[in-house]
Structure 1
C-alpha cells in the first residue's frame, strides 16, 4: 500500500499528517522526565472533554481489545452473573471474556439486524441477579448502532455495573457516557490515531467494584491505575502514541464535538445515498440502526472479490464482513479523518466502476 491509497476502512483509519508528525517528535522518558506528569494530566483532560464526562480517564498501552478484556477482568469475580447483550460479533465476544474471568455470562440475544427491545431487557434484568452487564454501542462488523438510553437507565436503577464497547463510535457520534460505568474506546477508530492505545472512562462505582474484586492479572487489571501517580505509571507508557492521540484529540476539540458529529452524519448519509443509487442496501436494513461511522452494504458472495478489485484497480481500501459474513458484506468506514464527503464520493465512484 502506498501513500496514495484511499483508506476507507472502519479502523484502523487513515491518519492525518499532523497526527503522524506528532508521533514522530522526540519522545520524552515517561518514567523519569518531570514534565511527563503535567503533560499526561493535560492529555487526560482533553480525552475527558472528547468523551463528555467527569469520570476518571485511563489510557492503556494496547489495542482496543485490551480494554474489553481489562474491564471484564477487573470488574467480574468468579461466580458473578453478567448480562451480555449481543446482537453482533463483539457483543457475542464479551461472553467469552466473562467466562475467562470465572463469571457466568447470561446472553440476551437479538438478531444481527435488530435493536434490543428495552422491555425485554428489563424483563431479563428482573429474572436474575446480575452484577454487571456488557454491551456494544456500534457493532463495527455490521454497521449497526445500538440505542441504549432506556436500557442503561434500567440497569442503573437495578444497581448493575455497565461495561460498554464504544470503540467504533466514540469521537464520531454521541455516546451516553454519563450513564456508563466503563466506556471503552481506542485510538485507531474515530480518533484517527495509529493503533496502540485503549481509552476508557471509569465511574466511582466501577472503582469500588475493582477494590472488591480479586485481581488475577496485572496488565489486564485496572487496580494498578486506581489513584495512579502520573509521575510514575504502572508501566512505561507508549509515549509516541500518546503524542499522536493528543494531536487527534486537539483536532476534535478545535472543530467542536457537535460539528464533528454532524460531519460524520453527513458523510454517512451520502455513503448510503450513493449505495442506494447502485442498488445496494445497508445491512441493518433500518435507517435508524445505521451507524454514522461505518456502513455495511450487502453484496452476497462477492464482497471479497469487490474489495480486491477496489484496491487493485482503484487504490481504494475498504473492509469486508467478519466470520460467516466475510463474503456477504462490504464495509465502508467513514469515521474520524475519513468522515469526509469528498473521500466518500471517491470511494463510491470506484465502487460504481467495479460494479459496472
Structure 2
C-alpha cells in the first residue's frame, strides 16, 4: 500500500486510461482536442480564469520553468521560505543569474510578514524593487500549509509578480489562484496520476513579462505553450495526458468541494490516530496541511518507515534533508484521501510502534 505524499497511489480508472492506445500527439487532432479539454477542466479545479498549460515533465520542471521564463539576469527576486522547496526557488534564481533575496522563517513557523514587508519597502526605497516573488503553499517535507493571502496583499501593494508552488495542495485544498501570477501544480500529487506532467495557471501579467524576455530555453519555457493551435513545442506525453485527463474527470465528477471535504476528513482521522499513539504533530494543528501529515519522531523516523514497509507492506515517507530521520509523513492526498485507507496506514504504524 503506497501512502506517500507523492507520487501517490493511482486509481484503477487512471491506470486503465494510460494503458489504452493513444493518438499520436504530433499529428492526430484527437490528441490536441484532449489536451485543450484537459486544460479547460484543470481551470475548474484551479478555480481560475487564467490560462492553464500542461507541459511534459515532472513537477519540478514547473518550478524551474517559472524562473527561467520570468527572471532575466540581474532581476531581483524575493524568495519567501519556511522549507526546503522555498529555499530551492532561490537556488533556481541563482542558476539563471537572477539576484535572490531569501526571507526565511523556521520550518515549524509561518511566513515572517514583518520581514517580508521590510524587504519590499527597503527594495523600493533603494530604487531596486523586486520583479518577482516566490513562495510555497504546502511544504511537503514538513506537512505545513502556508497562508498566502497576507503575502499576496503585500506583493500587490508593491506590484510584484508572484510565483507559487502549489504542487502538493492543488486539488486537495483551496488555492487562491486568481491572485497568483504563476500557480504551479503536478500530476502525481492530489490528482493521483502518474508523475510526468506539470500544470501551470498563468496570468496575463506573467505572460506579458515572459514575452518581454529573450528566451534562453525551449524546454524550461512556458511561452511555447501559450498557443498550441499550430502544434506542441515537442512531442507530448500522450499516455500521461490521458491519465491526468481521467484523474481530473474523477475530481470534477465528485465535485471539487466534496474532494476538499474528503481531504479534511482524512487528515483529521490521521491526526486523531496519531494522538492516540502519542505522536507529536509537526509543525502544529493550525498549520498542518489537509494533504499530508507529518509526525515528529526525532532520530527514529527512518527505522519506523523501514519497519512499516517490511512488516506491514505499507510505504510511508520520512522528512527530507536535515530532517530525514526526524519526521514520518503520511500522504493522505488524492486517491488516498480516504478515512478507511488512513486507518489501514495508521494500523501499520501502530503495529510497529507497539
Asked if 1:325 corresponds to 2:329, the answer is no
> Which residue pairs with 2:232 in the alignment?
233
- SS of 1:200 mapped into structure 2: strand
Total equivalences in the alignment = 349
Structure 1 residue aligned with 2:17, among 1, 22, 33?
22
1:309-348 equivalences in 2 (<5 Å): 309-348=307-346
> Which residue pairs with 1:150 in the alignment?
150
Post-superposition shift, 1:124?
1.8
1:250-329 equivalences in 2 (<5 Å): 250-284=249-283, 286-329=284-327
> Which residue pairs with 1:217 in the alignment?
217
Post-superposition shift, 1:215?
1.5
Structure 2 residue aligned with 1:61, among 45, 51, 56?
56
> Which residue pairs with 1:7 in the alignment?
2
> Which residue pairs with 2:126 in the alignment?
none
Post-superposition shift, 1:338?
0.5
> Which residue pairs with 2:102 in the alignment?
107
Deviations 1:183-206, CA, capped at 9 Å, x for gaps:
000000000000000000010000
User: In 1, Cα distance between the equivalents of 2:63 and 2:196?
Assistant: 14
User: In 2, Cα distance between the equivalents of 1:40 and 1:184?
Assistant: 17
CA RMSD of aligned residues (A): 0.9
- SS of 1:35 mapped into structure 2: helix
User: In 1, Cα distance between the equivalents of 2:143 and 2:226?
Assistant: 34
User: In 2, Cα distance between the equivalents of 1:354 and 1:39?
Assistant: 46
Post-superposition shift, 1:227?
2.5
Which deviates more from structure 2 when the two are superposed, residues 149-158 or residues 237-246?
149-158
Structure 2 residue aligned with 1:75, among 70, 77, 98?
70
Which deviates more from structure 2 when the two are superposed, residues 76-85 or residues 213-222?
213-222
> Which residue pairs with 1:205 in the alignment?
205
Aligned residues of 1:73 and 1:101 also touching (Cα < 8 A): yes
Aligned residues of 1:293 and 1:334 also touching (Cα < 8 A): yes
User: In 1, Cα distance between the equivalents of 2:288 and 2:138?
Assistant: 9
User: In 2, Cα distance between the equivalents of 1:153 and 1:254?
Assistant: 33
Structure 1 runs, 4 residues or longer, greater than 6 Å off: none
Asked if 1:36 corresponds to 2:35, the answer is no
- SS of 2:53 mapped into structure 1: strand
User: In 2, Cα distance between the equivalents of 1:39 and 1:301?
Assistant: 48
Which deviates more from structure 2 when the two are superposed, residues 208-217 or residues 67-76?
208-217
TM-score between the two structures when normalised by the length of structure 2? 0.97
TM-score between the two structures when normalised by the length of structure 1? 0.96
> Which residue pairs with 1:3 in the alignment?
none
Aligned residues of 1:153 and 1:179 also touching (Cα < 8 A): no
1:124-203 equivalences in 2 (<5 Å): 124-128=119-123, 129-203=129-203
Deviations 1:271-324, CA, capped at 9 Å, x for gaps:
01111111111111x211000000110111111111111011110000011111
Post-superposition shift, 1:119?
3.6
User: In 2, Cα distance between the equivalents of 1:188 and 1:153?
Assistant: 30
Post-superposition shift, 1:43?
1.1
Post-superposition shift, 1:232?
1.1
Structure 1 residue aligned with 2:42, among 39, 47, 50?
47
Post-superposition shift, 1:116?
1.1
Which deviates more from structure 2 when the two are superposed, residues 162-171 or residues 115-124?
115-124
- SS of 1:133 mapped into structure 2: strand
User: In 2, Cα distance between the equivalents of 1:63 and 1:215?
Assistant: 21
Which deviates more from structure 2 when the two are superposed, residues 190-199 or residues 112-121?
112-121
